[in-house]
Chain A
Amino acid sequence: MASLLASAPALPLDEAGKYVAGAYVVFLVLVVVYVAIMAAKLQRIERELRELAGFAEQRNEESKRERVTLDV
C-alpha cells in the first residue's frame, strides 16, 4: 500500500483541489447520512420486534396458566 501511494502521482491540492475535495466529501456525507438514517430505522424495527417477542411470550405464559387453572 505504501509503495502504491509512493508511486502514485502527487495530487495538485491547490485552488482546484479544494473544490474537488469538496465535491467528493459532499457525496460521502450524503451517503453516510442516508446510511445513518437507515440504521436508525433498522434499530427501531429491532426494538419493535423485541417488544413483540416479549408480548408473544407473555401471552403464551398467560394461556398456559389459564389452561392449568381449568385443569385443576
Chain B
Amino acid sequence: MYGKGLRNLSFATVAALAVSLSLVFFYAPLDADQGFVQKIFYLHVPLAIVALVGFVIGGVFAILHLRSGEARWDAHSYVSIHISVIFGVAVLITGSIWAKASWGHWWVWDEPTLVSFLIVFLMYATYYPFRYAIEDRERQARYASVFAIVAGAFVPLNFIAVRMAQTLVHPRVFATADGGLPGSMMLTFLASLLAIGLLWATLVRFELTAKSASGQLKRLRRALDAPAPGDASRIAPEVG
C-alpha cells in the first residue's frame, strides 16, 4: 500500500536533486561576502528547515495516533522523527564545516542558533531510548506519541525564541531589514528546499513501505503458525 507511487516519487526526487545541484554550482552567483563557501548554504539550510518541519509533522502524526488509536499513525510519527534525526545529523555536520570555513571554528557555543538546534537534536535523540525502554507495544506507542507532541510543540517555540535573540553571529538571510537573497539565489535556494523536501518524503515513504512489508510478513507467519526466525525481534513500530 505504501509502495504505491514510491517509484514516481523517487524519480521526482532524483530529478529535483539534479536540477538543484546544477543551479547551485552553475547558475547561482558567488556570494560577494562569503565567496564559494556560501554554496554550503543551499544544502545546510534546506536540511535544517526540512528536519525541523519533519519533527513537527511527527508531532501531528502523534496527535492523529492518540485521537484514533491506529498503529499506522504511530509508525508515521516514528518514521518522520527517524528521518528528521538523520537529516539533523547532516545539518550539524554541514553547519560545522561551514563554521570552520567561515569563522575558523568548528563550533561556537555562544551562538543561539547552533546551540538551540543541538538541543532540539539531542532531545529527539532521547526519543529512541525513551521508546525502547517500554516493552508493552501499546504503552510504548502512547508514550512516544506524547513525547512527539510535546517535542514537536517545542520546535517552533525554540525557533521563535532564537529569532528574538540579540546575538546574530549566525547569518540571517530571510526577512532581514537590509533585504534578503537576490532573485537567482532565492530561486536556487527554493529548488534546493524542494529537492530536500522531496528526499525526506521519499525516505519516509520508503521506510514505511519496508515496515509495512515486515508487518505483513509477521501476520502471514502467525496465520501459517510458522516458526519465527532467529533475528526477528524488533521493537520499532510496524504497519500491519
- A residues with a Cβ closer than 8 A to B are 8-9, 11-12, 14-17, 19-20, 22-24, 26-27, 30-31, 34, 38, 41-42, 44-45, 48-49, 51-52, 55-56, 59
Contacts and interface: CB of A to CB of B under 8 A. Distances in A.
B49 interface: no
Contacts of B199: 31
A11 B224 CA distance: 60
A16 B143 CA distance: 46
Size range of the interface on B?
35 or more
Contact of B226 (A9, A15, A55): A55
Q: Among the interface residues A23, A34, A41, A52, which one has the most CB atoms of the partner chain B within 10 A? A: A23
A56 B221 CA distance: 10
Nearest to A34: B86
B219 to A, nearest CB: 11
Nearest to B25: A11
Contacts of A30: 86, 89-90
Q: Among the interface residues A42, A48, A51, which one has the most CB atoms of the partner chain B within 10 A? A: A48
B232 A48 contact: yes
B229 A19 contact: no
B36 A20 contact: yes
Contacts of B97: 19, 22-23, 26
B117 to A, nearest CB: 16
